[in-house]
A and B are shown apart, each in its own frame.
Chain A
Amino acid sequence: MIRVQEASFDAGHEQQQLLAGRSDIGAVVSFTGLVRDFNERPDITALTLEHYPGMTEAALGEIVTEAEARWSLQGVRVIHRVGRLVPGDPIVLVVVASAHRRAAFEACDFIMDHLKTRAPFWKKEHSITGDYWVAERESDHRDASRWESENDEIP
């Protein structure tokens, strides 16, 4: 299940819903991304997340489908927030359930790496010294590309 929303979310509640009535799941991994008060500049007071409605949901769906093809998964939930957020706010949630832990850990990591490089979201950070759009990071592309090789070791 994929959701793009302005409202906040409760990671515990989302995980419970994913697991409700299931006894075939042996492992669940949940990742929550939070808004930091420092990034390219210190003293960030807020950020605004813009997205491309339609394409966002399609891109996230494609990433989840790829993860499901690669690992045997019992359930996936991705929530990404848009709009104005302040430091400490949860911004993204990925919950992955599978029979065994390795698949859940790896699939969650895979989904986040690809979300950061392929899903059409843009962050504008508001800091004490002004507003600016966040630039892409080379390290995010390196993180995503490590899934392409046979060698999945983190460098």
Chain B
Amino acid sequence: MSLTHLNQRGEAHMVDVADKPESRREATASGYIRMKPETLELLSEGGLPKGDVLATARIAGIQAAKRTHELIPLCHALLLSKVTVDFHLDKVNSCVDVVATCRLNGRTGVEMEALTAVSVACLTLYDMCKAVDKDMEIGAIHLDAKRGGKSGDYQRQGAPAAAPIVTGEGASGQVSVGSRCGIDSHCVRVKFLAELREQLGVADLTLPLDSLPSTDVGGLKSALVKRDPRFARLTEGRVLCAVNQVMALDPTPITNDDEVAFFPPVTGG
């Protein structure tokens, strides 16, 4: 492993890519800007003094990706074939998640372009909202994935979980408070789907059956809330539940190895 932008004398130089074959390159980067809940509310309603914040930040991110070579000294100028910048308003963590993807058929990777797009989109969001909120914080700008090229594909390990939340698996970056289920112990497998999964920041976990105050859906909810107060969301508003893929209610009994799913009202068709 060596730094490609340093030559044998340790001087910075631009890598000659003339002899590299062209291939399809793609990179995705993401980050967030955290703000006050009131600011996020204004942003989502379009009530900010500078107008349509997200549309402006999207254009800014795309423009920035195209001009990365003017900002980063040893970057090549690239003919990008695609740049997308997407936003997700996360009301639970009071932040805007920014995701950028760049693509081209060429000789160099596009991760710097994707990272620049995210950075400038975040800066533009700051600029557009700073009249009402100066405490905003930009963070976690990182490469999520890149495809193509000599160095091969890269996928960042660990889902981009916005904030740690309890899981039974203890993946990196997450707090594990649930005891993992052994082969011998009785367990219940819990899934969170769609918007609920995004709000809670967890997709699935397992719980020992004997940690439930009562072996039914209501008991499972109580056990989850005891582990992390965020699970109180399960008892608020319309949250549906299925045990072994059949619709269930609080008194529905749970037995060993059952699959219990919590999800919002359905919206297909």
Measuring CB to CB, which residues of chain A are less than 8 angstroms from any residue of chain B? 33, 49-52, 54-55, 58, 80, 91-92, 112, 115-124, 126, 128-136, 140
Contact = CB atoms under 8 A, between A and B. Distances in A.
21 contacts: A52-B193, A52-B242, A52-B263, A54-B245, A55-B242, A55-B246, A58-B246, A80-B269, A91-B269, A112-B269, A116-B268, A120-B193, A120-B242, A120-B263, A122-B266, A124-B195, A129-B52, A130-B44, A131-B88, A136-B238, A136-B265
Contact of B267 (A112, A121, A131): A121
Nearest to B240: A120
**Size range of the chain B interface in the assembly:** 20 to 34
B54 interface: yes
B46 interface: yes
Given A130-B44, A133-B195, A92 B269 contact: yes
A62 to B, nearest CB: 10
Contacts of B52: 129
B231 interface: no
Closest 7 CB pairs of A and B: A121-B268, A136-B265, A55-B245, A122-B194, A116-B269, A133-B195, A134-B267
Contacts of B265: 135-136
Contacts of B264: 122, 133, 136
Interface centre among B87, B195, B268 (most CB of A within 10 A): B268
Contact of A126 (B86, B191, B246): B86
Contact of B268 (A119, A129, A132): A119
A111 B89 CA distance: 34
Nearest to B261: A52
B47 to A, nearest CB: 12
A130 B268 contact: no
A153 to B, nearest CB: 22
B267 A136 contact: yes
B195 to A, nearest CB: 4
A54 B198 CA distance: 21
A129 B242 contact: no
Contacts of B269: 33, 80, 91-92, 112, 115-116, 119, 121, 140
B175 interface: no
B55 interface: yes
Interface string B77-108: 00000000011110000000000000000000
Contact of A131 (B87, B242, B263): B87
B128 to A, nearest CB: 13
Given A124-B194, A133-B267, 4 more contacts: A50-B193, A52-B242, A122-B263, A122-B268
A123 B263 CA distance: 13
A131 B58 CA distance: 13
A136 B266 contact: yes
